[in-house]
Chains A and B, each alone.
Chain A
Amino acid sequence: MAYDANLFLVHAGEPDKEGQQQLEKLLDEMQLKDCSKVIFEEGNVLNVLTALSEKEEIDLLVTGALKKETFFKYYSGSVARTLARKSGSPILLIPDPSNPPKPIKKVVISISENHPEKVLEVGIDYAQKAGAEKIYVVKEAAITTSEFTMKRYFSEQKSEELKAQMDAAEIGFIQKHLDEIPDLPANIEMKILQGHSGLALVQFTKEVEADLLIDSYPEFKLGIFDRIFPHDIEYTLLELPCKLLLIK
């Protein structure tokens, strides 16, 4: 309701009158009946959702997802994860749905060279509307500072200086985009992450026990090869650390 959006509740499969009635009753109780529509459609889930997204110009797909997939499911691709990889629409994956919904207190927004201004704008707006108490805006270092190189070739003081120098350039990137956002909330903290691209983000999200991770929709089409050698968003899909919102 906070977003003033129309809600489509989609079930792909055999028509189920009983289920439809239950859903409509639930929507009535939640006072969402006027702004929502229940759709039961036969066919493949992915095809149904993709077609509906295009037809109704859906702004956001919301779907439940397992926190972790089984080995074969992960490599073959589950519905939720395939949507995240290929649907082409912004998507919110909810790994642990609960009633009442768990409040969103900590949000991690990850920005990269992939349309950072849009991710920040939408991400901060979403986090504020969700009532987040803390927003981390993070960027993964373009190239990880090799710890081995640091320890082998530089003194501790020099290592710290070099790290600070490289972090400063990345922080400047975040700050530049943050400065363009009007009415910036005060509860924002910037952070530069070191490590494998994507992996460092998930590790940080787990470390701060974030409730929501906001990232950009993958730039490239992701395939089986990206699951064997995971990078970027694939690490998040490997093990969802919390709710995941992908912005396009």
Chain B
Amino acid sequence: MASGDVLFFLIQLSTLLIASRVFGEVCKLLKQPAIVGEIIGGILIGPSLFGHFFPETFNHLFVAHTSASVGMDGIYTVALIMLLFISGMEVELPLIWTNGRSALFISLVGMIIPMGIGLTAGWYLYDFFGMSNPDYKITFSLFMGTAFSITALPVIAKILMDLNLLNTKVGGLIITSAMLDDFAGWILFSVTLSMMPTSVHSIGQPTIGMTILLTTLFAIVVLTVFKFIFSKLFSYISKKISSPGSMVTIAMGMCFIGAVVTEYLGVHAVFGAFLMGMAFGESMQFTQKTKEIIHEFVANIFAPLFFVSIGLKVNFVENFDLAILMVVLVIAFVSKISGGFIGSKLGGLSNYESLAIGFGINARGAMEIILGLLALQAHIINEKIFVALTIMALLTSLSSGNFIRFFLNKDFKLKLPKNATATDEFNVYK
């Protein structure tokens, strides 16, 4: 990188970091998720606004210096991989079967219904969404199914903490279902990517079946043999080195190796990172302290950089299509809420609890945006759909909390005896 490129690389990096922090903090002050501020920050300094009014300055700062942009793209990729690594770290699949049949019904029905509706909409509304290449129709439909069925864990945890519902039955069910949806969503997306007609597979031209088989094998190895070997290795290493920082280095190294393998197999690098995150999250020597260090720099540096960069990559004004947005919103709300509601009813919950859970798992948050961006980069969707999906992710996340509160209040009034105390209010949902 030439000196001039280094200069612009650093200008871009510092601008994005500061913008993401400033707008993120403003949203926190307004009691809204930081991701909303970060994306708005990106839109403001990106082509949608700053680039629109000051095109020359925008081009000079963010576009003209190719090497600087390539460097920044590298950082975004690393950020994305690390985001998925910590997403994997937080997945605790056994919660599904320890939480009983309610969690299983909510997770499964809450995924199957949006998947079915999304897939059908993708197939029949292919032209309406502005897609034209018939070769991509199956992949596109599969992606739409996945996009509507996914749920975002971090933003849901935030909403439940705001409402003081995290440690309650309803909160537990929402979190557990979100975990499974997250896990299943990334598997589905990996399959979708491997089906792309133009996807270049590094191991030659394997069939879709071969790619899926190899990826499944890799997942099994990571979640069984790998976990066992690394438990032994970590046990040895932890006796030789004391600092949790050293464990962070090893974990990050393994995270990137996992990413390399899945990228090599023809599915995206993020899936390998997600699997490695799951394996490390369950590792005995990987303590809370080590996890905190990783969370610290991903939450404060890489996540904000990634989300602010979205507004920089896509012109939200030019690609805003009200008709597409409305269709996406209707499908998103109807499919996920009905899926969550039916699943909860099958699991034996009351009508209001089921509605609260439906709205809870409706929060798509960061996962939807990540999924959308990857699909955009893989040419599965166009920019108009990406903009609609991003707005849908933000709206579903912003609306969830209020709906959960509204329906649980209704449920609470039905269940609580007339002489109830404030403590009873908490215990009702335990």
> Do the beta carbons of A199 and B295 come within 8 Å of each other?
no
Closest residue to B160 on the A side, CB-wise?
A143
Interface segment, one of B204-212, B285-293, B367-375, B413-421: B285-293
A143, A166, A230: the one contacting B175 at CB < 8 Å is A143
A142 to B298, CA, bound (A): 25
B158, B223, B284: the one contacting A153 at CB < 8 Å is B158
Closest residue to A155 on the B side, CB-wise?
B28
> Do the beta carbons of B154 and A146 come within 8 Å of each other?
yes
Q: How does the 8 Å CB contact mask read for B349-368 relative to A, with 1 for contact and 0 for none? A: 00000000000000000000
A166 to B164, CA, bound (A): 8
> Do the beta carbons of B33 and A147 come within 8 Å of each other?
no
Chain B, range 249-263, C-beta contacts under 8 Å to A:
none
Which residues of A are found within 8 Å of B5, using beta-carbon distances? none
Interface segment, one of A43-51, A118-126, A231-239: A231-239
> Do the beta carbons of A202 and B284 come within 8 Å of each other?
yes
B94, B157, B224: the one contacting A231 at CB < 8 Å is B94
A151 at interface, CB cutoff 8 A: yes
Q: A162-B161, A170-B167 are in contact. Are A148 and B299 (CB under 8 A)?
A: yes
> Do the beta carbons of B164 and A165 come within 8 Å of each other?
yes
A110 at interface, CB cutoff 8 A: no
B172, B232, B284: the one contacting A203 at CB < 8 Å is B284
A194, A202, A226: the one contacting B288 at CB < 8 Å is A194
Which residues of A are found within 8 Å of B231, using beta-carbon distances? 238-239
What is the distance, in angstroms, from A150's C-beta to the closest C-beta of chain B? 8
A196 at interface, CB cutoff 8 A: yes
> Do the beta carbons of A229 and B86 come within 8 Å of each other?
no
A228 at interface, CB cutoff 8 A: yes
B321 at interface, CB cutoff 8 A: no
Closest residue to A151 on the B side, CB-wise?
B299
Q: A200-B288, A239-B284 are in contact. Are A148 and B228 (CB under 8 A)?
A: no
Number of interface residues of B (CB under 8 A): 45
Q: How does the 8 Å CB contact mask read for A157-183 relative to B, with 1 for contact and 0 for none? A: 000001001100110000000000000
Which residues of B are found within 8 Å of A75, using beta-carbon distances? 224
Which residues of B are found within 8 Å of A238, using beta-carbon distances? 231, 284
Q: A74-B228, A143-B175, A169-B167 are in contact. Are A203 and B288 (CB under 8 A)?
A: yes
A169 to B92, CA, bound (A): 22
Q: How does the 8 Å CB contact mask read for B139-170 relative to A, with 1 for contact and 0 for none? A: 00000000000000111011001001011000
Closest residue to B165 on the A side, CB-wise?
A143
Which residues of A are found within 8 Å of B266, using beta-carbon distances? none
A169 to B165, CA, bound (A): 12
> Do the beta carbons of A146 and B95 come within 8 Å of each other?
no
B93 at interface, CB cutoff 8 A: yes
B132 at interface, CB cutoff 8 A: no
B236 at interface, CB cutoff 8 A: no
A68, A202, A228, A232: the one contacting B98 at CB < 8 Å is A232
Which residues of A are found within 8 Å of B158, using beta-carbon distances? 149, 152-154
A151 to B161, CA, bound (A): 13
> Do the beta carbons of A229 and B167 come within 8 Å of each other?
no
What is the distance, in angstroms, from A243's C-beta to the closest C-beta of chain B? 18
Which residues of A are found within 8 Å of B299, using beta-carbon distances? 147-148, 151-152
Q: A170-B167, A195-B288 are in contact. Are A143 and B172 (CB under 8 A)?
A: yes
A149 to B155, CA, bound (A): 7
A5 to B56, CA, bound (A): 88
A141 at interface, CB cutoff 8 A: yes
A3 at interface, CB cutoff 8 A: no
B127 at interface, CB cutoff 8 A: no
Q: How does the 8 Å CB contact mask read for B92-103 relative to A, with 1 for contact and 0 for none? A: 111101100000
Additional 10 contacts, C-beta under 8 A, given A153-B33, A239-B231: A142-B167, A143-B175, A145-B166, A148-B90, A148-B298, A149-B155, A151-B299, A152-B35, A152-B303, A230-B282
The 8 closest A-B pairs by CB, nearest first: A231-B94, A151-B299, A149-B157, A153-B158, A147-B295, A146-B157, A149-B154, A152-B299
B contact residues vs A (CB 8 Å cutoff) = 28, 33-35, 86, 90, 92-95, 97-98, 153-155, 157-158, 161, 164, 166-167, 171-172, 175, 223-225, 228, 231-232, 235, 281-282, 284, 287-288, 291-292, 295-296, 298-300, 303, 426
A contact residues vs B (CB 8 Å cutoff) = 68, 71, 74-75, 141-149, 151-155, 162, 165-166, 169-170, 194-197, 199-200, 202-203, 207, 220, 226, 228-232, 235, 238-239
Could you jot down 30 A-B contacts, CB within 8 Å?
A71-B225, A141-B167, A143-B166, A143-B167, A143-B171, A144-B92, A145-B157, A146-B90, A151-B295, A151-B296, A152-B154, A152-B299, A153-B33, A153-B154, A153-B158, A162-B161, A166-B166, A169-B167, A169-B426, A170-B167, A195-B288, A203-B287, A207-B287, A228-B223, A229-B93, A230-B94, A231-B95, A235-B284, A238-B231, A239-B231
